[in-house]
Structure 1
Amino acid sequence: MDEVRVEAARQALFCEQVLAKSSSNVLLETLREAKSVAAWEHFPQGDVFDAETGAQWYYHSHPPQEGQAEHGHFHCFVRPEGANGPIHHVVAVGVDAYGRLLRLFTVNQWVVGDNWLEAEATIALLPRFDLHFARPSYLVNRWLSAVLALYGEEIRALIRERDRVLAAHHQANGAPARDDRALEVTSELGVDLRQMAAGLGV
């Protein structure tokens, strides 16, 4: 497992280093073709989808809040049966305005409107999030894939915590927890890519 993590950390740092040489970063690359950046808008338009693996993602930002470091996040999905099949959210990856990794988190079903899967079935899809795709940037796609591989253990724990939180959540009106607009983020973890890489000796 450590070998997988070490290779993933190397890949993620390599993508960041190549982008930095071009005075760019993961966020700038993602938004490179955007004429303007509005809150909630998906980038790139139509999302990114790798038909070979079923991996899919989009980036969006929320309205800025004072004191909030996060610019926005990548919502990561897997479509195991192809473009017309069900879609399952696996994790969201938050970054700051310089494209630096800040946190990983899961969301309630109403947030993304995906096809719900219980924790273990969702976890089984994680290896499928492995994009070899040029749009909008091969480096962004490899960086995201590497981040999910690097933090695989932590993401599995977040997905299990998501289900525990939902199972324990009760609305006053008895409506399903997965529809409760008061419950958006179901689990989260602050992360530091360089600290993780250094701990692995990368």
Structure 2
Amino acid sequence: MALAALSRERLKEMQFAGNIIQDCYRVLKKADQNVVGQCLAHQGKFYELDHYPKGDVYDREHHAQYYYHAHRKESGEHGHFHTFVRAKGMPKGIAPAPYKGDAKRPMGNDALAHFIAISMNGPGFPIGLFTTNRWVTDETFYKAEDNIAMLDRFRIDHTFPCLAVNRWITAMIDLFRPQIKELLVVRDKTIKNWAATHPGIDVFEDRDLEITSIMNIDVDRQIAAVEAALGDQRKSA
């Protein structure tokens, strides 16, 4: 993905996020830990589909939320994080995507928007991003453009289950913002195309449509791409 077209301000924000991620890895490595391990610590036996840490991680100031779980062995991942913002953290004027079906959705103060899932490998490092159909996380569901407008609202600023993990996941959303935007747009196109080819089915509740967009990622390559884009902008200034 070409990053040179991004504003210098956005690239500097991504550069800062990359520095945070590297620093989180540094301090975790000192204790022979990783971000996944910190979420699973003191949680008892690990069960697929259960949320970790128990009760999820929620920031009462920013109303952002995440949890870790596993259920996609065939993908080669260990598990993945799901990231959200709840109603009280959403900008004014944001409304759920139009829906004519009969399924119940969390609304009002219970509304929530799912941003992205972050796939993790066995050693505890991110290897991919993907979006999901509404039923997967039981979100309210918002249009891609509204989800994108809310990305800056994802902030986890406390120490449960671990400060390094919370800084890391917040920075991941910032570092990979261009990719997340692209994946959300593709998500909406996938759902629209699925609905067109499956008439009479509530597309948002169709269990045959789970992953709506997916992409492999590499933190080091993304950081290098950001540095290269900043360098190109300096040369052309």
Give how far 1:196 is off. 1.4
Q: Distance in 2 between matches of 1:88 and 1:173?
A: 26
Give the residue type in structure 2 aligned to 1:76.
T
Give how far 1:172 is off. 4.1
**What is the CA deviation profile of residues 110-140 of structure 1, one whole-angstrom value per residue up to 9, with x for unaligned ones?**
1011111111111111101111111111111
Tell me which residue corresponds to 2:92: none
Find the residue that maps to 1:81 and give its secondary structure.
Answer: helix
Tell me which residue corresponds to 2:211: 185
Does the 8 A contact of 1:49 with 1:55 survive in 2?
yes
* Of 1, 5, 14, the match for 1:5: 14
1:21-100 to structure 2, matched below 5 A, reads: 21-62=30-71, 64-65=73-74, 68-81=75-88, 84-100=109-125
Tell me which residue corresponds to 1:115: 140
Find the residue that maps to 2:159 and give its secondary structure.
Answer: coil
Give how far 1:71 is off. 0.3
Q: Which runs of 5+ in 2 are unaligned?
A: 1-9, 90-107, 229-237
Find the residue that maps to 1:2 and give its secondary structure.
Answer: helix
Q: Distance in 1 between matches of 2:109 and 2:52?
A: 20
Give the residue type in structure 1 aligned to 2:60.
A
Tell me which residue corresponds to 2:95: none
Tell me which residue corresponds to 2:202: 176
Over aligned residue pairs, what C-alpha RMSD do you find? Answer: 1.7
Does the 8 A contact of 2:119 with 2:126 survive in 1?
yes
Give the residue type in structure 2 aligned to 1:185.
I
TM-score of the pair, normalised by structure 2: 0.80
Q: Distance in 2 between matches of 1:62 and 1:69?
A: 11
Give how far 1:24 is off. 0.4
Q: Distance in 1 between matches of 2:72 and 2:110?
A: 31
Does the 8 A contact of 1:73 with 1:92 survive in 2?
yes
Tell me which residue corresponds to 1:196: 222
TM-score of the pair, normalised by structure 1: 0.93
Q: Which runs of 5+ in 1 are unaligned?
A: none
Give how far 1:197 is off. 1.6
Q: How many percent identity over aligned positions?
A: 34
Bigger share in helix:
2
Q: Distance in 1 between matches of 2:71 and 2:37?
A: 17
Give the residue type in structure 2 aligned to 1:7.
F
**What is the CA deviation profile of residues 87-125 of structure 1, one whole-angstrom value per residue up to 9, with x for unaligned ones?**
111111110111111001100001011111111111111
Bigger share in strand:
1
**What is the CA deviation profile of residues 52-102 of structure 1, one whole-angstrom value per residue up to 9, with x for unaligned ones?**
11110010011634xx43100000000131694311111111101111110
Give the residue type in structure 2 aligned to 1:69.
G
